[in-house]
Amino acid sequence: MNTSNIIDIQDLNPDTAGIRKIDLSLDLELEIRKLKKEMNAVILPQYYQESEIQDLADFIGDSLQLAQQAAKTNADIIVFAGVHFMAETAKILNPDKKVLLPDLNAGCSLAEGCPAPLLQKFKQQHPGHILISYINCSADVKAMSDIICTSSNAVKIVSQIPAEQKIIFAPDRNLGRYVIKKSGRDMVLWQGACIVHETFSDKKIMRLKFENPDALLIAHPECEESVLSNADFIGSTSGLLKFVTESPVNEFIVATEPGIIHQMLLKNPHKNFIPAPPEANCNCNECPYMKLNTLEKLYLCMRDRKPEIILNEEIMRKALRPLERMLEMS
């Protein structure tokens, strides 16, 4: 082995602390495919992952589809290429399987902005309410929830709750507001937001619309109300992908994390997709948590079988019921 090809991968995960070495002459895609077979593993990436990770998917989808896929997999090991709450969901649905996540620090601002003890206090301030939690939350929050939902089934789930039942919706206020509008149900909202979807610039989007008059504006419901009110279509990542694929229109301004554009182009190579710009002059329309996962870390987590998602058994047991309710009601 030529040692000049060996580099150190800095790793801040407590589970894999220190420095891990990787041989740069390796064809990582090939190695990952070999490891996948050896381990009887399934690779489940979300649409915001780097394109080379998306291309290694056994199945790619939005949060709901990934949870459904995780619930029915026969693989021994689930390699989740997404953020922590998504891998936790896969673990809760498969407590006896090993669930790997390339970088344990791949969190989510929505999950981090809604700590379970504070949400518990909020619940106590609203007696008689059930708690419907967006899947972008910690396992502890799931465990104290009545039902979980995702961006693709939130309206459907809320609409099935008896009219007299009061509801708290957490943690995303933008999705919550959108669901109130679509379902006509009043809900008490936890005031959380996604750091990616709340940064899109209305002014820059409007300018783009003016410069590209044929382009449709499509948006994820985590976007602010001002963006959603101007959108031609609102949907989850898979909803947006389906819409652009079925639409006769050829140009779209995409107000969600730009990782999804890889799949949009694969399915529609002749169409044009313009990422919606953030307020600042930076790449903050990219999810910094999702982008912590890299091809190198994906390879390392499969080679070393860590970092692994480990959850308290009692929390997993409690979090399973609201997740199962979601799957039943979807």
- Provide φ and ψ at 215, rounded to 5°: -80, 140
Closest by CA position to 62, among listed 137, 156, 136, 163: 136
* Contact between residue 131 and residue 118 where contact means Cβ atoms under 8 Å apart: no
Question: What's the rounded Cα separation, in Å, for the pair 264 and 48?
Answer: 12
Site track for ligand SF4 across 14-53, x = CB under 6 A: ----------------------------------------
- When asked if residue 151 is in the footprint of ligand 13P (CB under 6 A), the reply is yes
- Give me the sign of the Cα torsion angle 45, 51, 56, 59: positive
Site track for ligand 13P across 43-82, x = CB under 6 A: ---xx--------------xx-------------------
Nearest approach in angstroms of CB 135 to ligand SF4 is: 10
Site track for ligand 13P across 192-211, x = CB under 6 A: --x-----------------
Site track for ligand 13P across 283-322, x = CB under 6 A: ----------------------------------------
Question: What's the rounded Cα separation, in Å, for the pair 48 and 66?
Answer: 13
Neighbours of 92 (CB within 10 A): 28
- When asked if residue 290 is in the footprint of ligand SF4 (CB under 6 A), the reply is yes
Closest by CA position to 141, among listed 125, 120, 167, 169: 120
Q: Which one, 54 or 109, has the nearer CB to ligand SF4?
A: 109
Nearest approach in angstroms of CB 214 to ligand 13P is: 26
SS3 of residue 168 by DSSP: strand
Q: Which does 16 bind (CB under 5 to 8 A by kind): ligand 13P, ligand SF4, none?
A: none
Nearest approach in angstroms of CB 113 to ligand 13P is: 13
Interface residue with ligand SF4 among 13, 94, 136, 150 (CB under 6 A) is 136
- The angle at the Cα of 25, spanning 80 to 43, to the nearest 5 degrees, equals 15
Tell me the β-bridge partners of 170.
Answer: 133
Interface residue with ligand SF4 among 56, 108, 155, 240 (CB under 6 A) is 108
Question: What's the rounded Cα separation, in Å, for the pair 330 and 325?
Answer: 9
SS3 of residue 312 by DSSP: coil
Tell me the β-bridge partners of 233.
Answer: 218
Question: What's the rounded Cα separation, in Å, for the pair 256 and 37?
Answer: 33
SS3 of residue 330 by DSSP: coil
Footprint of ligand 13P on 87-146 (CB under 6 A): 136
Q: Which does 289 bind (CB under 5 to 8 A by kind): ligand 13P, ligand SF4, none?
A: ligand SF4
Footprint of ligand SF4 on 253-272 (CB under 6 A): 257
Question: What's the rounded Cα separation, in Å, for the pair 289 and 104?
Answer: 10
- When asked if residue 292 is in the footprint of ligand SF4 (CB under 6 A), the reply is no
Interface residue with ligand SF4 among 73, 94, 109, 236 (CB under 6 A) is 109
Contact residues: ligand 13P, CB under 6 A: 46-47, 62-63, 136, 150-151, 194, 220, 222, 236-237
Binding residues for ligand SF4, rule: CB under 6 A, are 83, 108-110, 136, 194-197, 222, 257, 287, 289-290
